[in-house]
Amino acid sequence: MKKLSLFIIAAFIMTACTKQQPPVADYDIIPQPKEVRLDDGKPFELSPKTVIHYEAGLKREAQFLSEYVNDIMGCVLKTQEYQGQTDGIVLKLSPADFDQAEAYEISITPKQVTIKGADAAGVFYGIQTLRKSLPIPSLQRGVGGIQCQLPSATIKDHPNFAYRGMHLDPCRHFIPLDSVKVYLDMMAMHNMNQFHFHLSEDQGWRIEIKQYPELTEIGAYRNGTVIGHNGNLYDTIRHGGYYTQDELRDLIKYAAERHINIIPEIDLPGHMQAALACYPQMGCTGGPYEVWRRWGVSEDVLCAGNEEAMQFAENVLNEVMDLFPSPYIHIGGDECPKVRWEKCPKCQAKIKELGIKGDGRFSKEDFLQSYVMNRMAKVVEARGRRVIGWDEILEGNVSETAIIMSWRGIEGGIEAARKGHDVIMAPSSHLYFDYYQSEDIANEPPCIGGYLPVERVYEFQPLPEVLSPEEQKHIIGVQANIWTEYIAHFWHVQYMALPRMEALTEIQWNNPKERDFEAFVERCKKMRQFYELYHYTYADHIFNPQVWADTVETNLATRKPITLREQPVEKYTYGGAKVLNDGELGHGAYNSGRWLGFYGSPLDAVLDLEQPVEMRKVRFHALVNKSAWIYNPSSLKVLVSDDGETFREVGQKTIPISTWEDRDGIFAYELEFEPVAARFVEVVIKGHDLPEDHNGFGNPAWIFVDELEVW
């Protein structure tokens, strides 16, 4: 007995000793370095005594590394200029050793860690890699003065894309400067180098312009905001804010220290209603206009035939360029309705003066927009900068020097690259981080809609195979966008960004040919520890995969042969007719692949039950998302047949249209009828037209149906 307890004590001591090993760094991080070669030999031991030596020009980088180590381990490493020391950490500039900008190499030996870069940015990314490799639990477990061990290794790395961007919209909801700085910190941790700052909108103007003080005195505030997805109810809370030029200078410096360039966007000639509220004479109708309280696309845009409005835009861009050193200036160009220009005498006179004609593909008003964009591009290029515009600016004859930001899919990017434009890929299909990242939207903070889980971001291929290698060279970068109509707080911005930024940086930095999502998720788990460390809010779906109770009970129609007499819209066809009886429900997002979308034609499906069966009810779900033009059906009719050719009606009903007072969501509809025996069932579901109080009035509404059930 005594012997046994001695043995237990000895075993306990041994276990305690093993536990005393310092934690070990792991280089399997995000984005994954291109080459990691683990060397034999002892590790480098990082302790509070480790000194960071830096070559001239890398002082701030050394401070960053010291700050990061302090965040993780709670000890401040001393930094001092490099004088040939053979211990500690050394930061070096070594452009001759690299053939591209931003590349770096880390060499870890028992005596020294050397980070050398092609430039200071390269050293900075080497520091990010070292930082993300550090074991986070070391804060609690540092022993004997050693905080952690770095296995001997050589790491070589460089980015695939020179342009690695994130966008932020502080216009729909104002985002305080300190929060924007945190956003830049998040970008830096993900090796991103271009911050697209969307500074003007219908709903608020956010940048101080000295020549036009009303832009921020009046244009930065709206007197209320529409409730929900563009209903008819408004709150009366004054919302707004803006950045002074001094604040922006401070932000530009903060970003530059982190090797991030800030690209200011002045969105024109559309999305200008806040500016028109200040200067109504610059709109086609002369106003009055208000800083918009609704979401969507305002029809009131800058008057392209008004010289004062054009000079206003030029003056604003010049003042923006005085402030921002960015080599790129974003001039918007998206979503500019032409309805005012079509009726405006000044715009029409301008069209005449310029001798503009439509060409069958584009209207004369489209070409008038090209005139505006090309005129602004000249102002920007006169100062040695380049313009970026959203892909709509291809509609007309925009100059080839403009960089195209492809957001309505990748098609605009493909067309632009073929025409010789440089391109940034930011398609809403994969990189709009304002979309839902779970199908369980009842348990998500409300957002604009859509469905874009991390998996989908991770799948994105930015270099379309239809382009030749020469054309692919025009794809200079990749970017994700965060619009804030439904994102009123910075915690929610973070939630939408994380962990999707992990997938984005993998594409931007590595664009791997082979993608292994499971291995990627494992690496995300380490990043999650950083989110916790820095108190970042994040979405945890990939860390806690949920099992959906998402199938319907098998009914008479489940997985029986089905044909459609009217086809869904191609984009929302997915697996075709069988989506309608595969037994899987649709959840909230209309683009999840589990809904079929019909526009302007009914859903008309014929189910073959394979033998005569008795039935008494047809049931289905439809989605309502009114601001996305998706309404409940207007009618449901059921017919049956014995031979699949002659059908007889067994029942029908009409369904009143959903109003703005009704909530959006998923609703079940059913039609009961006298029991009938038949082999074939035809279900016809018709849609409503958009009502008068909808901004799409006069057009059909969409219908989205997930599953047809027969009981």
Contact residues: ligand ACM, CB under 6 A? 334-335, 390, 407
**How far apart are the C-alpha atoms of 627 and 229, rounded to whole Å?**
6
The distance of closest approach from Cβ of residue 334 to ligand ACM in the complex, given in angstroms and rounded to an integer, is: 4
The distance of closest approach from Cβ of residue 347 to Zn ion in the complex, given in angstroms and rounded to an integer, is: 4
The nearer residue to Zn ion, 272 or 478, going by C-beta atoms, is: 272
Binding flags for Zn ion, 492-531, as an x/- string (CB under 5 A): ----------------------------------------
> Contact 564/572 with Cβ under 8 angstroms?
no
**How far apart are the C-alpha atoms of 424 and 195, rounded to whole Å?**
13
Which of 619, 631, 628 minimizes the C-alpha distance to 686? 631
**How far apart are the C-alpha atoms of 301 and 272, rounded to whole Å?**
6
**Which one of 32-40, 281-289, 330-338, 635-643 is the stretch in contact with Zn ion (CB under 5 A)?**
281-289
Q: Could you say which of Zn ion, ligand ACM, none residue 293 binds, taking C-beta under 5 to 8 angstroms by partner kind? A: none
Q: Could you say which of Zn ion, ligand ACM, none residue 305 binds, taking C-beta under 5 to 8 angstroms by partner kind? A: Zn ion
Q: Could you say which of ligand ACM, Zn ion, none residue 403 binds, taking C-beta under 5 to 8 angstroms by partner kind? A: none
The nearer residue to ligand ACM, 335 or 455, going by C-beta atoms, is: 335
Q: Could you say which of Zn ion, ligand ACM, none residue 335 binds, taking C-beta under 5 to 8 angstroms by partner kind? A: ligand ACM
The residue at minimum Cβ distance from ligand ACM is: 334
The nearer residue to Zn ion, 373 or 708, going by C-beta atoms, is: 373
Q: Could you say which of Zn ion, ligand ACM, none residue 344 binds, taking C-beta under 5 to 8 angstroms by partner kind? A: Zn ion
Q: Could you say which of ligand ACM, Zn ion, none residue 407 binds, taking C-beta under 5 to 8 angstroms by partner kind? A: ligand ACM
CA dihedral (245, 177, 314, 223) in degrees, to 10, reads: -110
**How far apart are the C-alpha atoms of 331 and 268, rounded to whole Å?**
6
The distance of closest approach from Cβ of residue 307 to Zn ion in the complex, given in angstroms and rounded to an integer, is: 11
Looking only at residues 336 through 355 of this chain, which bind Zn ion when binding is defined by CB under 5 A? 344, 346-347
> Contact 406/413 with Cβ under 8 angstroms?
yes
CA 376 to each of CA 85, 339, 510, 514: distance values in angstroms, whole numbers, following the listed order: 53, 22, 34, 42
Q: Could you say which of ligand ACM, Zn ion, none residue 334 binds, taking C-beta under 5 to 8 angstroms by partner kind? A: ligand ACM
The distance of closest approach from Cβ of residue 335 to ligand ACM in the complex, given in angstroms and rounded to an integer, is: 5
Binding-site member from 284, 403, 480, 482 for Zn ion (CB under 5 A): 284
The distance of closest approach from Cβ of residue 313 to Zn ion in the complex, given in angstroms and rounded to an integer, is: 13
The distance of closest approach from Cβ of residue 516 to ligand ACM in the complex, given in angstroms and rounded to an integer, is: 31
The distance of closest approach from Cβ of residue 450 to ligand ACM in the complex, given in angstroms and rounded to an integer, is: 12
To which H or E segment does residue 388 belong? strand 386-390
Q: Could you say which of Zn ion, ligand ACM, none residue 639 binds, taking C-beta under 5 to 8 angstroms by partner kind? A: none
The distance of closest approach from Cβ of residue 304 to Zn ion in the complex, given in angstroms and rounded to an integer, is: 6
The nearer residue to ligand ACM, 158 or 196, going by C-beta atoms, is: 196
Longest Cα separation, the chain = 106
**How far apart are the C-alpha atoms of 38 and 24, rounded to whole Å?**
13
Cα–Cα–Cα angle for 651, 652, 656, rounded to 5 degrees: 155
Point out which residues pair with 598 in neighbouring strands: 703
**How far apart are the C-alpha atoms of 122 and 380, rounded to whole Å?**
29
**Which one of 8-16, 123-131, 277-285, 466-474 is the stretch in contact with Zn ion (CB under 5 A)?**
277-285
**How far apart are the C-alpha atoms of 24 and 29, rounded to whole Å?**
14
The distance of closest approach from Cβ of residue 335 to Zn ion in the complex, given in angstroms and rounded to an integer, is: 17
The nearer residue to ligand ACM, 27 or 295, going by C-beta atoms, is: 295
Binding flags for Zn ion, 285-324, as an x/- string (CB under 5 A): ------------------x-x-------------------
**How is residue 508 annotated by DSSP?**
I
The nearer residue to Zn ion, 119 or 300, going by C-beta atoms, is: 300
Joined together, the tokens standing for residue 668 give 């079940």
Cα dihedral sign, 430-435-437-440: negative
Count how many Cα atoms sit within 13 Å of the Cα of residue 43 in the half-sphere of its side chain: 15
The nearer residue to Zn ion, 175 or 282, going by C-beta atoms, is: 282
The distance of closest approach from Cβ of residue 389 to ligand ACM in the complex, given in angstroms and rounded to an integer, is: 10
CA 615 to each of CA 542, 603, 684: distance values in angstroms, whole numbers, following the listed order: 42, 21, 17
Gyration radius of the chain's alpha carbons = 30
Strands (E), 169-285: 194-198, 200-201, 204-205, 221-222, 239-240, 261-268
The distance of closest approach from Cβ of residue 428 to ligand ACM in the complex, given in angstroms and rounded to an integer, is: 7
Distance of CA 644 to the CA centre of its chain: 47
Q: Could you say which of Zn ion, ligand ACM, none residue 436 binds, taking C-beta under 5 to 8 angstroms by partner kind? A: none
Q: Could you say which of Zn ion, ligand ACM, none residue 289 binds, taking C-beta under 5 to 8 angstroms by partner kind? A: none
Phi, psi of 400 (to 5 degrees): -65, -15
Amino acid at 425: M
The nearer residue to ligand ACM, 161 or 407, going by C-beta atoms, is: 407
Residues 6+ apart with CB under 8 A from 318: 379, 383
CA dihedral (248, 249, 254, 260) in degrees, to 10, reads: 80
Q: How many residues bind Zn ion (CB under 5 A)?
A: 6
**Which one of 217-225, 229-237, 276-284, 368-376 is the stretch in contact with Zn ion (CB under 5 A)?**
276-284
Q: Could you say which of ligand ACM, Zn ion, none residue 685 binds, taking C-beta under 5 to 8 angstroms by partner kind? A: none
**How far apart are the C-alpha atoms of 393 and 415, rounded to whole Å?**
12
Q: Could you say which of Zn ion, ligand ACM, none residue 214 binds, taking C-beta under 5 to 8 angstroms by partner kind? A: none
Joined together, the tokens standing for residue 330 give 């974003």
By CB under 5 A, name the binding residues for Zn ion: 284, 303, 305, 344, 346-347
